[in-house]
Structure 1
């Protein structure tokens, strides 16, 4: 397929795709370019490396992924404690045999039955990074560790607590280090406890396939890139674009929400009175900053939820090189009494999450994967090109 046809195919996506529409649609007149060959899927696919980690790798890990060398350093003269879930947790404590440096370390992993949504919720409940903190624990973000990580320190017990999420898996590490002199126990303080917890957490995270690249406590988030504004998809995917693709779209339907995450959506609908009804839906959500979590981070987390759901429930799934910073496409086909097929391309750019969902049929036959996703991807490129960089 030459460059001209790819451009035409991209424009044709707007009118040819069917998206589940919640608003009132407008009739369209379909004219397809006969020179377009859309039998092949034409997406910039990449290996799916996000999110890392599943429930499988760590269930058989010895010592929860901790090395003998690390344990000897963190917990001298260690004794293994009884773990509440032997496959998913470990606990160690220095034997009390007089004076000297001692430590206690525990690790607990939770696979959340393979659910990114549950893993995100668990991380938020523990760290309170999505709300104003209500507990006495003050959590600080940790960079370079898993998909997200945070650490706190309990001065009353001299214990550091680290929570890390890697895809569907959360890991909790608790570490305390102290020195005994006769019967007198003295904590060695926050710095050593936090450093030990992060060192242990890095080994566990690496063992289950997550990122462990020079992890460190963030003293601040630094200057964030400006939030991108919420735009109207109806303005971006305009009548000129549609007409250039061979479609006449005299009107359109819009909807918007202005709650926690403002969203705008534009929809078009073709009702032919035959099985060949088609619709297109393009939505954009703009995530604002929260006190403890930026809009860009919130958009990426929502993308990870959609990624997890699409990968598990779609007929076919594709991680994409673009547009935006992260992108994916998936196709659903149902062989029911009335066969249905639809697809969606989703991408995130800074604090914006953009979704193009479409479906349709030709001569009573549902659109193929290439019919749907080639067109949806071309619309995604039009949307991405219109956004500020």
Structure 2
């Protein structure tokens, strides 16, 4: 398959480095630095146990991101279905032999690290859908038979992720897929039917799929004060910490809620709360501003691509990144139920960091090779 292209006909290494999005890399590094600083604070002024490991992970992932960015876009085009298949196999492996943690079976233990295949599957799904819709004609998009295969590409991993159980990631996969359908040119009636079917399925999901702890999360979201020392404890403490930070914050290493261990999961899901308590509304807006600039930068790259694959790939990965940010921030503010979604580049975690950086590498690759000629399906 690779033989169908002359991969040497693209830009030279010096041209690739010149076209590297260094501004985006600086923004990514700034956000990662904020994450390391927050983890240093979470460790009570110590690099161990979180900040030192996160620093090493970021350096490793930065190298991986640059390597991914330098690889020709035509290579990623050809590998898209194979990468999807590999991610799907890992999800099947998790179902039978995965590592169990916090009541869910989501990880593969490699000895030196644990990986969460569902995180990597988000990237693989975007790549597969971008390839499928590349070169699609308007008459193709009106045929139901043309739209069934990409729908199955979405539903297959969603089903496996729901078995883990991991409702939050399953929803993200659906939204990522819907975004690619929309940009790929799928008819509006399809989204109307999908939304109607999703709303109609809510009672069935509540009664037959959701576990008791998941139902409790929803009930706690609706009324966290009903059980402030039990199921509502996490979100109540998060709100207290956010409010106590005020405009300027309590100062670095001086967050009372986090350092007195009132704030749960301060190194992962609630890392933004820790940051906002110590740096206040000002620090929180600075972090959100940097994340917004990354989002805008990725959108600009998407619209610059001349081939459909790169445009869809960059757009889909941009949507995936923005979903992480929106869900995590909304969760810690009590705007949506608590789910296990980390804040990208900031929360402690190896797989989430690796997935985010590889995603950025693919986006930068789309920009570097935006003029490459790709086949039309």
Higher share in helix? 2
TM superposition score category, shorter chain reference: under 0.3
With structure 2 as the length reference, what TM-score do the two structures score? 0.22
Is the radius of gyration larger for structure 1 or structure 2? 1
Higher share in strand? 1
With structure 1 as the length reference, what TM-score do the two structures score? 0.22
Higher relative contact order (Cα pairs below 8 Å, separated by 6+ residues): 2
